[in-house]
Amino acid sequence: MALYAIGDTHLSFCVDKPMDVFGGNWTGYVEKLREGFSVLTEQDTLVLCGDLSWGMSLEQAEQDFRFLHEIPGKKIFLKGNHDYWWTTAAKMERFFAQKGFDSLSVLHNNCHFYQDVALCGTRGWFYEEERGEHSAKIFNRELMRLETSLKAAGDREKICFLHYPPLYHGYRCEEIIELLKRYGVKQCCYGHLHGGSHRLAVSGVQEGVEFTLVAADYLNFQPKKILEF
């Protein structure tokens, strides 16, 4: 029984936007993902750290959800900046129930449990996004979501999953890092960084939190084992 994480699967079964066009290790990425996911069993849990599907609506992403549903074990979704299909938790859950995707759930203003460990998180914030008045609103909402998720965990050990890295070469999202520290988060997995950006990622323990980049192309499309019980 193990907990795995991977971000940025960028699936595109229903939309003609395959990542293979980028070449490099993206060539044949769906087959690589299928192969990578073959290590999972029904007892495992996989957290998908955003940028799951290029679909613009739940309906357009249906085949991508089916691909993920067919992987053994429980799958927990987090929103990425390209998940345009993302809507309210109620609508997503209703859609998954209607389609029989009972292994899929979302991490959105809540937390999930893996044994005694709380899985918390939200999309997060990145310097690519401007901090104008509108952005400030979104940023504050992300902070509230993260805190709601961390609070829901109570006293349990917490692992935090974000799409955007809270730390990046020369960039530090003070407010998010402060929340991770205040709630005693020891481990933080994030995605979003691709290709040439990998070398600028922060990994290992910083300020008491262990940071791990889990973008699929960084992991060569093999989910990262985070915990095993």
Q: Which residues bind Fe ion (CB under 5 A)?
A: 8, 51, 80-81, 192
Task: Tally Cβ neighbours within 10 Å of residue 204.
Answer: 8
Q: For residues 207 and 182, is the Cβ–Cβ distance under 8 A?
A: no
Nearer to Fe ion, 52 or 92 (CB): 52
Least gap, CB of 8 to Fe ion (angstroms): 4
Name the minimum Å distance from CB 163 to Fe ion.
Answer: 6
> What residues contact 219, with CB distance under 8 A and at least 6 apart?
6, 36
Shortest distance (Å) from residue 156 CB to Fe ion: 28
Residue (118 or 162) nearer to Fe ion, CB: 162
Choose among 21, 28, 2, 17: nearest CA to 220. Answer: 28
In the complex, minimum distance from the CB of residue 57 to Fe ion, in angstroms, rounded to a whole number: 19
Exposed / middle / buried, residue 13 (Cβ in 10 Å: 0-12, 13-18, 19+):
middle
Which CB atom, from 191 or from 226, has the smaller least distance to Fe ion? 191
Take residue 160 and report the two structure tokens written for it.
């935090």
